[in-house]
Structure 1
Amino acid sequence: MSHNADTEQRLIDLEIKVGFMEDLVDSLNEVVARQQQHIELLLREVSALRLQQDDGGGSPGFRSLRDELPPHY
Structure 2
Amino acid sequence: MSEPAELEPRIADLEIRIAYQDETIEDLNKTVVEQWGHIDRLSRLVTALIDRIQELENARSLGNPPEPPPPHY
Task: Please report the TM-score for the alignment, with normalisation by the length of structure 1.
Answer: 0.75
Give the unaligned 5+ runs of structure 2. 62-68
Whichever residue aligns with residue 8 of structure 2, its letter is E
Matched, 1:13 2:20: no
Distance in 2 between residues matched to 1:12 and 1:56, nearest whole Å: 66
CA distance in 1, matches of 2:49, 2:60: 16
Percent sequence identity over matched residues?
34
**What pairs with 1:1-73 in structure 2 (closer than 5 Å)?**
3-57=3-57, 58-59=59-60
Q: CA-atom RMSD, angstroms?
A: 2.2
Residues paired across the two proteins, number: 63
Structure 1 residues without counterparts, runs of 5 or longer: 61-68
Q: Work out which of the two has the higher radius of gyration on C-alpha atoms and give 1 or 2.
A: 2
